[in-house]
């Protein structure tokens, strides 16, 4: 059974850093496109970042230069390092398999940026 379990969310002050983790089971993250998608409270979905099976990464303009996606194949885990956090980064962050067509999603991790 495919499962994605996020962790690492929480309350962080503006300008701070946080790392989200996404433990995958039932498939290998190394063989798939893996994405992060976020959803601000009461708002729509926003694609954040993707890492290809070959390791190439892409980012939305809103997070470019501040967020970094990576994975640890030995732990079958995806990460999102978030730096210089802003209030507008407050959202539920979903780990997802795929990019345009996402067939599996995690349960989401809430990140709240506030002083």
The residues of the shown chain that bind other proteins, judged by CB under 8 A, are 37, 44-47, 50, 58, 60-61, 94, 99-103, 105-108
**Cα(113)–Cα(17) distance, integer angstroms:** 10
**Smallest separation (angstroms) from other proteins to the CB of 115:** 27
Residues 6+ apart with CB under 8 A from 73: 28, 29, 30
Task: Give the residue from 20, 24, 21, 18 showing the smallest Cα distance to 4.
Answer: 24
Of 1 and 13, which has the nearer Cβ to other proteins?
Answer: 1
Of 17 and 25, which has the nearer Cβ to other proteins?
Answer: 25
**Smallest separation (angstroms) from other proteins to the CB of 34:** 14
**Cα(64)–Cα(59) distance, integer angstroms:** 6
**Smallest separation (angstroms) from other proteins to the CB of 27:** 15
């Amino acid at each position: 059974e495919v499962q994605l379990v996020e962790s690492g969310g929480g309350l962080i002050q503006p300008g701070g850093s946080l790392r989200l983790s996404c433990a995958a089971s039932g498939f290998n993250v190394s063989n798939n496109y893996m994405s992060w998608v976020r959803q601000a409270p009461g708002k729509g979905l926003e694609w954040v970042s993707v890492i290809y099976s070959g390791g190439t990464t892409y980012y939305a303009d809103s997070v470019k230069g501040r967020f970094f996606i990576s994975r640890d194949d030995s732990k079958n885990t995806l990460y999102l390092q978030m730096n210089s956090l802003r209030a507008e980064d407050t959202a539920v962050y979903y780990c997802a398999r795929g990019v345009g067509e996402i067939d599996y999603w995690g349960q989401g991790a809430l990140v709240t940026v506030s002083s």
